[in-house]
């Protein structure tokens, strides 16, 4: 069974990006170095079920509910992080 | 009537209609909880409805429908996955025919499918809930639903219930059209009557010896037969409680499902096979602490092939949380038989090791010694059906121990497919070579061994090579067990050879763990060919290796072999490595991923 990482809920891109990449890599059973933050995670084989699992992991990290469609609208990690850190102005991530 | 300390539910099967089956509880136990929707099982954040409240809401919806359309009109239900119940009962109470469908998502093919269902069923109204009203209105604005009224069932005042009149329905009246998965262009609506619903719930409760006190619950969507007919209706017809959770909550954190079972005292919860694997994979030791699954009597596993390894692993992992292995409950069923066909009361998981070489020859013989074997779970006895195992080609009834198509007859078998007389005659009107009929052809292959049903595969997916049956699941499983470099999902199927040769062409597509290592992939493909030849005696015309996620699965985790075959045939599959027999280059046309456009994530 996996051991979930616990990181303080500090929503900076410097922390979030490697955390999401590591979590996605673990869901895909790949080395994190194989993933890229500027390409859709589906390019690396992330399917719908595991996409929602990743959203679930993110919810636990940041302590609030997220829209399960978040990865549909923001398929690359950079894009996702921009929304979560509020860099996308006015875009609601809550669900 | 009491049998062995349990209340017998045989009486449900004798009621005049499904309305009576629910209303009697509103009468006898008005303040008992009928439905609980759980938002957060840990904090017990939920919303509850008693039988009296549910009955009142259903009558209000029914009155609205009765004022607008004649009895027997079809009503499309477009709700979020576990919010169908009030609208569904409203349809039953009004004598209308409910047509449950998933909320149309953002994919074009999903929207097309719902539109095709709406026009095939010729619906007169759409029911939804306030939270989805905007989405549903926008969707309905064009196409076959443009002139149809849309109602949010939670917006009708309860006082409207007084206008409701009991419709003239009986056991033969249609209750719902259950659209089977089918292809997008050709969905088929299974016609389920009030009598089917009553008989099937009674069969489930009685056949599995489910105590009347047990609570039902889960996250299975109610536009699927399992979510509605194997979860909500037995609870409501039997006067128990059904506890519901949105499937997204489960997919985000599978432990939420397990916590709900514990905190809400659920004894019956059904799920497809993948859900049990998903729980093992995603539940942490920390989440396991404080979890008590000892009162979960029925972990029903149905709607996709049940894997012995999955059930064993789940039982082993959650034994720590008090889960009893006797709760593992493999069931067989299908929408054309309402839902439930067979299963067994709680007992040790019943598994038979069948001789793999005999299976290939259409025979189910227990394996001895070191012979290669395939373990299959028993699906119990189909006690409320006439069940026959039939040779699909000759229609001869086969003896026990032989493998053939599963044919069924009985009061749970539905009336046919809505407005499809040809398909209805072919599937619901089968007659054996001895002239015995009519039976339902399930399209599933299986055998009866020691009086119990074993399902060996899908008729359409079986690969026939030189007169032998190869089961794709077997081949995929063998490849994975011999080649650790392979990922979790593969699809083995056959394609017709282009030159009209009698034999089909075998193709194995499989996900790999490390798609970058081209030299390794070439070795792997060659080794896989060797395995196919040594274990199954067949040569593969194509071995295709793809990234994780490259093999298509349905939202419930079923491998879509037919869809994969189509992708390969039409040259649309993007692969990491392709090894095709030069003789079949024209049949197996596959690109490598470098030429492929990027893909957005598939939605649930």
Q: Report the pLDDT value the prediction gives residue A2, as an integer from 0 to 100.
A: 44
| Domain span including residue A24 | 13-84
CB B197 within 8 A of CB B238: no
B contact residues 257-286, partner A, Cβ 8 Å cutoff: 274, 278, 280-286
Looking at the structure, do residues B467 and B456 belong to the same domain, yes or no?
no
Which of A28, A29, A48 lies nearest to residue B603, judging by beta carbons?
A: A48
Domain count, chain B: 3
User: Which one of A51-60, A80-89, B352-361 scores highest in mean pLDDT?
Assistant: A51-60
Q: Looking at the domain assignment, is residue B537 inside a domain?
A: yes
| Residue A68 confidence (pLDDT) above 60 | yes
Q: Looking at the domain assignment, is residue A47 inside a domain?
A: yes
| Residue A73 confidence (pLDDT) above 90 | no
Q: Which of B165, B204, B228, B168 is nearest to B17 (CA)?
A: B168
Q: Report the pLDDT value the prediction gives residue A10, as an integer from 0 to 100.
A: 57
How far, CA to CA in Å, does B604 sit from each of A49, A80, B81, B114, B150?
Answer: 7, 19, 11, 15, 24
Alpha-helical regions (H) of chain A: 13-28, 48-62, 70-73, 77-84
Q: Does the beta-carbon distance from A69 to B603 stay under 8 Å?
A: yes
Q: Looking at the domain assignment, is residue B326 inside a domain?
A: no
Looking at the structure, do residues B121 and B234 belong to the same domain, yes or no?
yes
Which pLDDT tens digit goes with each residue over B126-165? 999 999 999 999 999 988 999 999 999 999 999 999 999 9
Q: Report the pLDDT value the prediction gives residue B592, as an integer from 0 to 100.
A: 76
User: Which one of A6-15, B264-273, B592-601 scores highest in mean pLDDT?
Assistant: B264-273
Instruction: Using CA coordinates, name the residue in chain A closest to B593.
Output: A43
User: Which of B210, B242, B274 is at the close of a domain?
Assistant: B242
Which of B278, B285, B547 lies nearest to residue A45, judging by beta carbons?
A: B547
CB-based contacts of B110, cutoff 8 Å, min separation 6? B102, B104, B603
Average pLDDT of chain A is 79
CATH number, position B595: 3.30.300.30
Q: ipTM value of the model?
A: 0.79
Looking at the structure, do residues B97 and B203 belong to the same domain, yes or no?
yes
CATH number, position B237: 3.40.50.12780
Q: Looking at the domain assignment, is residue B593 inside a domain?
A: yes
Looking at the structure, do residues B129 and B20 belong to the same domain, yes or no?
yes
| Domain span including residue B549 | 462-599
> What stretch of H or E contains B127?
strand B123-128
Mean pLDDT confidence for B514-530 = 91
Instruction: Using CA coordinates, name the residue in chain B closest to A69.
Output: B603
Q: Report the pLDDT value the prediction gives residue B138, as an integer from 0 to 100.
A: 94
Looking at the structure, do residues B20 and B111 belong to the same domain, yes or no?
yes
Q: Does the beta-carbon distance from B604 to A29 stay under 8 Å?
A: no
Q: Looking at the domain assignment, is residue B446 inside a domain?
A: yes
Q: How far is A13 from chain B (nearest CA, A)?
A: 22
CATH number, position A68: 1.10.1200.10
Q: Looking at the domain assignment, is residue A42 inside a domain?
A: yes
Q: How far is A2 from chain B (nearest CA, A)?
A: 6
Instruction: Using CA coordinates, name the residue in chain B closest to A56.
Output: B252
Q: Does the beta-carbon distance from B550 to A51 stay under 8 Å?
A: no
Q: Report the pLDDT value the prediction gives residue B7, as an integer from 0 to 100.
A: 39
Looking at the structure, do residues B442 and B470 belong to the same domain, yes or no?
no
Q: Report the pLDDT value the prediction gives residue A91, as an integer from 0 to 100.
A: 43
Q: Looking at the domain assignment, is residue A90 inside a domain?
A: no
Q: Does the beta-carbon distance from A49 to B550 stay under 8 Å?
A: no
What b/e readout covers B159-190, taking b as 16+ CB neighbours within 10 angstroms? Answer: ebbeebeebebebebbbbbbbeeeeeeebbbb
Mean pLDDT confidence for B579-590 = 80
Instruction: Using CA coordinates, name the residue in chain A closest to B280.
Output: A1
Domain count, chain A: 1
Which pLDDT tens digit goes with each residue over B310-341? 999 999 999 999 999 999 999 999 999 999 99
Q: Does the beta-carbon distance from B251 to A1 stay under 8 Å?
A: no
B contact residues 311-340, partner A, Cβ 8 Å cutoff: 317
Q: Which residue has the tokens 């009061």?
A: B411
Rounded to an integer, what distance in angstroms lies between the CA atom of residue B43 and that of residue B449?
A: 47
| Residue B594 confidence (pLDDT) above 60 | no
Q: Looking at the domain assignment, is residue B256 inside a domain?
A: no
Rounded to an integer, what distance in angstroms lies between the CA atom of residue B423 and that of residue B413?
A: 15
Q: Looking at the domain assignment, is residue A93 inside a domain?
A: no
A contact residues 52-91, partner B, Cβ 8 Å cutoff: 52-53, 55-56, 59-60, 68-69, 71-72, 75
**Which residues in A lie closer than 8 A to residue B548 (C-beta atoms)?**
28-30, 44-47
Looking at the structure, do residues B476 and B525 belong to the same domain, yes or no?
yes
Which pLDDT tens digit goes with each residue over B3-59? 333 334 448 989 999 999 999 999 999 999 999 999 999 888 999 999 999 999 999
Q: Looking at the domain assignment, is residue B87 inside a domain?
A: yes
Top-confidence residue, B259 or B555: B259
Which pLDDT tens digit goes with each residue over B394-416? 999 999 999 999 999 999 999 99
Sign of CA dihedral A45, A48, A50, A52: positive
| Residue B604 confidence (pLDDT) above 50 | no
| Residue B67 confidence (pLDDT) above 90 | yes
Q: Looking at the domain assignment, is residue A2 inside a domain?
A: no
Looking at the structure, do residues B487 and B454 belong to the same domain, yes or no?
no
Q: Report the pLDDT value the prediction gives residue B531, as an integer from 0 to 100.
A: 87
pLDDT band at B363 (very low <50, low <70, confident <90, very high): very high
Which of A42, A59, A60 lies nearest to residue B601, judging by beta carbons?
A: A42
Looking at the structure, do residues B532 and B572 belong to the same domain, yes or no?
yes
Which pLDDT tens digit goes with each residue over B437-458? 999 999 999 999 999 999 998 8
Q: Looking at the domain assignment, is residue A59 inside a domain?
A: yes
Which of B284, B600, B603 lies nearest to residue A3, judging by beta carbons?
A: B284
**Which residues in B lie closer than 8 A to residue A45 (C-beta atoms)?**
511, 547-550
User: Which of B225, B242, B259 is at the close of a domain?
Assistant: B242
Q: How far is Cα of residue B454 from the mean position of the Cα atoms in its chain?
A: 17
Looking at the structure, do residues B75 and B170 belong to the same domain, yes or no?
yes
pLDDT band at A8 (very low <50, low <70, confident <90, very high): very low
Q: Report the pLDDT value the prediction gives residue B322, as an integer from 0 to 100.
A: 98
Looking at the structure, do residues B582 and B531 belong to the same domain, yes or no?
yes
Query: Does the CB of B485 have a partner CB in chain A at under 8 Å?
Result: no
pTM, to two decimals: 0.83
Q: Looking at the domain assignment, is residue B217 inside a domain?
A: yes
CATH number, position B423: 2.30.38.10
Q: Which of B212, B328, B326 is nearest to B269 (CA)?
A: B328
Q: Looking at the domain assignment, is residue B111 inside a domain?
A: yes
**Which residues in A lie closer than 8 A to residue B600 (C-beta atoms)?**
40, 42, 72, 75
Phi, psi angles (nearest 5°) of residue B244: -125, 150
Q: Looking at the domain assignment, is residue A6 inside a domain?
A: no
User: Which of B222, B242, B262 is at the close of a domain?
Assistant: B242
Q: How far is B128 from chain A (nearest CA, A)?
A: 19
Q: Report the pLDDT value the prediction gives residue B478, as an integer from 0 to 100.
A: 87
Average pLDDT of chain B is 90
Q: Does the beta-carbon distance from B548 to A60 stay under 8 Å?
A: no
Q: Report the pLDDT value the prediction gives residue B589, as an integer from 0 to 100.
A: 77
Rounded to an integer, what distance in angstroms lies between the CA atom of residue A20 and that of residue A28?
A: 12
Q: Looking at the domain assignment, is residue A4 inside a domain?
A: no
**Which residues in B lie closer than 8 A to residue A61 (C-beta atoms)?**
none
**Is residue B440 packed enough to be buried (19+ CB in 10 Å), middle (13-18) or exposed (0-12)?**
buried
Edge-to-edge strands, sheet with B97-102: B149-152, B123-128, B74-79, B97-102, B174-179, B189-193
A contact residues 33-52, partner B, Cβ 8 Å cutoff: 34, 39-52
């Amino acid at each position: 069974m996996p051991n979930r990482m616990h990181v303080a809920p500090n929503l900076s891109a410097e922390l979030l990006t490697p955390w999401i990449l590591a979590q996605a890599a673990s869901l895909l059973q790949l080395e994190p170095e194989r993933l890229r933050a500027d390409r859709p995670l589906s390019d690396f084989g992330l399917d719908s079920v595991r996409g929602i699992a990743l959203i679930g992991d993110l919810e636990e990290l940041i302590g609030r509910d997220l829209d399960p469609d978040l990865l549909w609208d923001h398929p690359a990690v950079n894009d996702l992080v921009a929304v979560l850190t509020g860099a996308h102005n006015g875009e609601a991530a809550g669900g | 009537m009491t049998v062995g300390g349990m209340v017998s539910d045989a009486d449900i099967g004798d009621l005049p209609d499904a309305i009576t089956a629910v209303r009697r509880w509103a009468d006898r136990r008005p303040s008992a909880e009928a439905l609980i929707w759980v938002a957060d099982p840990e904090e017990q954040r939920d919303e509850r409805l008693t039988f009296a409240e549910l009955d009142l809401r259903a009558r209000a919806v029914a009155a609205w429908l009765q004022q607008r359309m004649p009895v027997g009109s079809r009503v499309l239900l477009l709700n979020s996955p576990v919010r169908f119940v009030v609208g569904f009962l409203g349809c039953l109470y009004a004598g209308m025919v409910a047509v449950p469908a998933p909320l149309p998502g953002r994919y074009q093919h999903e929207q097309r499918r719902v539109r095709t269902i709406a026009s095939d069923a010729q619906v007169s109204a759409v029911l939804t809930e306030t939270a989805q009203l905007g989405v549903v209105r926008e969707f309905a604005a064009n196409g076959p639903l443009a002139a149809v009224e849309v109602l949010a069932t939670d917006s009708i005042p309860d006082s409207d219930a007084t206008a409701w009149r009991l419709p003239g329905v009986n056991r033969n009246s249609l209750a719902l059209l259950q659209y089977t998965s089918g292809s997008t262009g050709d969905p088929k609506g299974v016609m389920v009557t009030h009598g089917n619903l009553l008989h099937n719930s009674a069969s489930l409760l009685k056949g599995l010896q489910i105590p009347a006190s047990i609570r039902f619950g889960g996250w299975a969507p109610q536009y699927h037969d399992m979510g509605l007919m194997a979860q909500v209706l037995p609870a409501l017809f039997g006067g128990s409680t059904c506890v519901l959770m949105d499937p997204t909550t489960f997919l985000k954190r599978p432990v939420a499902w397990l916590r709900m079972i514990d905190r809400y005292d659920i004894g019956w919860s059904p799920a497809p096979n993948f859900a049990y694997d998903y729980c093992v994979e995603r539940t942490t030791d920390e989440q396991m602490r404080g979890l008590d699954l000892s009162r979960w009597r029925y972990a029903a596993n149905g709607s996709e092939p049940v894997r012995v390894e999955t059930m064993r692993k789940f039982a082993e992992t959650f034994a720590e949380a008090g889960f009893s292995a006797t709760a593992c409950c493999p069931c067989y069923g299908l929408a054309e038989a309402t839902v439930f066909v067979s299963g067994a009361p709680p007992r040790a998981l019943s598994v038979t090791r069948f001789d793999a070489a005999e299976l290939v020859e259409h025979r189910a013989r227990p394996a001895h010694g070191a012979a290669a074997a395939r373990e299959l779970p028993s699906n119990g006895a189909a006690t409320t059906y006439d069940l026959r195992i039939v040779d699909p080609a000759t229609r001869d009834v086969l003896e026990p121990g032989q493998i053939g198509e599963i044919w069924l007859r009985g009061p749970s078998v539905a009336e046919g497919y809505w407005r499809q007389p040809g398909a209805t005659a072919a599937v619901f009107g089968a007659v054996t070579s001895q002239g015995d009929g009519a039976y339902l052809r399930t399209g599933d292959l299986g055998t009866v061994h020691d009086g119990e049903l074993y399902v060996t595969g899908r008729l359409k997916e079986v690969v026939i090579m030189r007169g032998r049956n190869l089961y794709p699941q077997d081949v995929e499983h063998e490849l994975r067990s011999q080649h650790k470099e392979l990922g979790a999902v593969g699809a083995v199927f056959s394609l017709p050879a282009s030159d009209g040769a009698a034999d089909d062409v075998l193709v194995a597509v499989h996900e790999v763990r490390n798609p970058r290592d081209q030299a390794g992939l070439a070795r792997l493909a060659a080794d896989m060919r060797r395995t196919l030849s040594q274990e199954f005696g067949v040569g593969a015309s194509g071995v295709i290796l793809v990234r994780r996620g490259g093999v298509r699965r349905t939202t419930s985790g079923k491998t879509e072999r037919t869809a994969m075959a189509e992708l390969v045939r039409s040259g649309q599959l993007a692969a990491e490595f392709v090894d095709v027999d030069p003789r079949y280059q024209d049949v197996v046309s596959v690109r490598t991923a470098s030429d492929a456009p990027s893909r957005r994530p598939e939605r649930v």
